[in-house]
Structure 1
Amino acid sequence: MKIQSLLILVLLASCQKEKTKIAATFPIQSNKTETAVISSKESFLKTDTILISNDKDSPVNLILANLVSQKADKDSIITLKFQIDFYQNKIKTASSKVAIQNNEKGSEWSADFGLTTASPKNSSFIKISYGYPACGYTYYNYLYYLKNKNLQLVYEWYTMSDSGWGNWVEFSNPDTDSDPKSFYCKSVAFEPADENDDNMGLLTYSDSTSFELKGNRWTKQLRSPKEKVYFEKKMNINDFYKQD
């Protein structure tokens, strides 16, 4: 099995045991700065800049994550609201709004192109992640589709990693090109399964979802019962990461 989700490419290697071979973790990359590189008439509490490509022909060169507001409810749960602006050659081409709860101070943004590690860099898909860069913290992930300045938030999910264990989403692109007409994903979890054996884990799959492009919009359909495991397998953590 290949760990295809690009969002699990960095943290697992720093968290797990020395002898455990890690195939993929998250976040993808973090080229964050505290000050926006493009002036704007809009007023924000904070702006983080994500440089995603130096190629002038890229559909997106950089992304600005603008903090619009932060409010606490009666239970002291803080909600951050962001405006995500996409730029090509210093021209804003699209915007999206997202809300994040339970923010950790020091959290960072990261982004990359494509559905999988094999996706070309001119892909119309853009993955954006937000979270604290350490083991055991939740990451908020967003999959966008940007084509001819039309932006769609296709999917969003959470990921977490700690010492080789965790949960993430794997994407599969049957067309292996930058603009597929369909693809699917599934939620993956690999968690400790035996209190007497620190290396024994349980692999599970759930929430198999298919996506299809209709016109210029993506539709999605859940192929398995929501939040219900449809596959499970006990295996050693070292064997899990040795798989192709």
Structure 2
Amino acid sequence: MNSCILSKEDILCMQYAGMKASQIMTPKLMPEEYAEAFEAYIDKAESVMSMQEEYGVITLTFQDDNFPHSLRKIGNDCPPIIHCIGDLSLLAPTANRIAVIGARAASPIGLRKAYELGNKYAKEGNIIVSGLALGCDKSAHEGCLDADGRTIAIVASGLNITHPIENAPLQQRILENGGLILSEQPFGVKANPTRLVARNRLQAALSSTVILAECPQQSGSMHTMRFARKYHKRCLVVSYPEYSDKNAGNELLINLNLARSI
């Protein structure tokens, strides 16, 4: 089967069969070791795509003209397919997107910083990107929404699953206010540590600037900052008058000159 023109179902089958994104997006014949598995997943892929369409999910593949250019630019890290609910205009090349990120178990000061950053940059006309997690992500989304801004939540599960479930009301509010929920995972896929790290690269890729509100040295947010540097994004980090385990990641990035303090 030639991959010059692939349907959404074709790409989903390839993913189910275990093919890497770089293999899917390379225009050549499918490797023989995946052909049998591909055939086995056709019915599943067609069923999932049908359910997603009924749910209102818009699926974009790397072949589509309106697939985000900022994702194409990350090369082999680019997902071959993304699934979205909401306003796709937020993915336009002309839209300025700023990611505000941080730890789930943030301090009250860190949560306030995330809220203030989401609020400030939304008032300036930027689209706020975050990950719909508890803690700093939630605060950043809420700060944006309270400024009547629009926000993109990038998640690590299929769009029929809200992770964490506590943020279901926030997800609904994002959509009601003209925002967007985006995932590279199809219906039925649950979030796990590997997918959460993969989600973090999309936050960095879609944004012109990535701002860290607060995190410890061991945190998923540090992965996001690493991706931001890899993709040559502007990296900013909140500085604090005093540092502790809660914001040790901020201190480390500042001391190593890996991000500019604000």
TM-score when scaled to structure 1? 0.23
Higher helix share: 2
TM-score when scaled to structure 2? 0.22
